[in-house]
Amino acid sequence: MEAYVKLNTEDGIGTIEFFHQQSNSLPGHILSEIANTITKAGEDNSIKVIILKSAGERVFCAGASFDELVAIDTPENGKIFFSGFANVINAARKCPKFIIGRVQGKAVGGGVGMASATDYCFATKFAATKLSELAIGIGPFVVGPAVERKVGTSAFSAMTINATKWFDSNWACEKGLYTEVFDTTEEMDTEIDKLASTLSQSNPEAMKGLKKMMWEGTDHWDTLLIERAESSGKLVLSDFTKNAIEKFKAN
């Protein structure tokens, strides 16, 4: 099955779904499509609220594509790749519609960043999280501002430093990454449908104003996240990182 990003619109609800055969990992072209699709949905007057989800069970998103990380051979190519995560977060941040996150399973690295960039995030008990970047010699520089905004400095530091630890969904909910956690995907989807339906009938201008207020103080992220992408693009070229990624791929 080929990787994809698709947008389905029904009754004022725009559902963006992405898929990649390697545990919903994020190569550059998928990142670009997600960012563009979020922007497109934000500009579509027939869409009042957006749901962001991935396909499959038990894995929401495995983060950056290891194949593409290994292939990075210049600082500029590294900056371009990591800018893909910056573009997704900034697209979600600037989208005038509320974005509901649906995290049905594990989220790693950029997947945690994507969940953090939503405005109201649902999850299942299987949705453990991990910021594994330090374990491969880099760091969650690009997604960091979005994650820290949701969970606070202390929890973000814990995830960043203990880069091999899975933090379970209840921990993530207590820290504010997830708003609600459910035992089953079916229960989660029922509640997502309820909230999305309610929001689709709400005042678009009021929601737009609230969204802008909620993201107040982040206007500088257009520049900040690209600067962070440049830093990551340089670090990924180190021998340490190259060797660490190869070990991860071999496991």
Identify whether the C-beta of residue 80 lies closer than 8 Å to the C-beta of residue 137: no
The CA distance from 33 to 49, in Å, is 19
Lookup: tokens for 172: 């993530």
Identify whether the C-beta of residue 61 lies closer than 8 Å to the C-beta of residue 110: yes
Residue reference for tokens 């997600």: 34
Q: Where are the alpha helices (DSSP H) in the chain?
A: 28-43, 66-71, 75-94, 110-116, 144-151, 153-161, 169-175, 185-200, 204-214, 221-235, 239-250
The whole-number pLDDT of residue 2 equals: 94
Lookup: tokens for 207: 């929601």
Identify whether the C-beta of residue 86 lies closer than 8 Å to the C-beta of residue 142: yes
The whole-number pLDDT of residue 126 equals: 98
The CA distance from 40 to 62, in Å, is 25
CA-based end-to-end distance of the chain: 23
Identify whether the C-beta of residue 78 lies closer than 8 Å to the C-beta of residue 233: yes
* For the chain, domain boundaries: 4-185
Residue reference for tokens 């989807």: 189
Q: Which CATH class is domain 4-185?
A: alpha beta
Whole-structure pTM value: 0.96
The whole-number pLDDT of residue 243 equals: 87
Segment-wise mean pLDDT, segments of 10 residues, the chain, 251 residues: 96 98 96 98 98 96 92 95 98 98 98 98 98 94 98 98 98 98 98 98 98 98 98 94 82 71
The whole-number pLDDT of residue 168 equals: 98
Residues in a beta bridge with 105: 58
The whole-number pLDDT of residue 70 equals: 87
The whole-number pLDDT of residue 1 equals: 86
Work out the burial of residue 47: count CB atoms within 10 Å of its CB; fewer than 13 is exposed, 13-18 middle, 19 or more buried.
buried
The CA distance from 182 to 185, in Å, is 7
Lookup: tokens for 39: 């922007």
Question: Which positions ≥6 away from 61 have C-beta within 8 Å?
Answer: 23, 24, 25, 26, 54, 107, 108, 110, 111, 114, 115
The whole-number pLDDT of residue 81 equals: 97
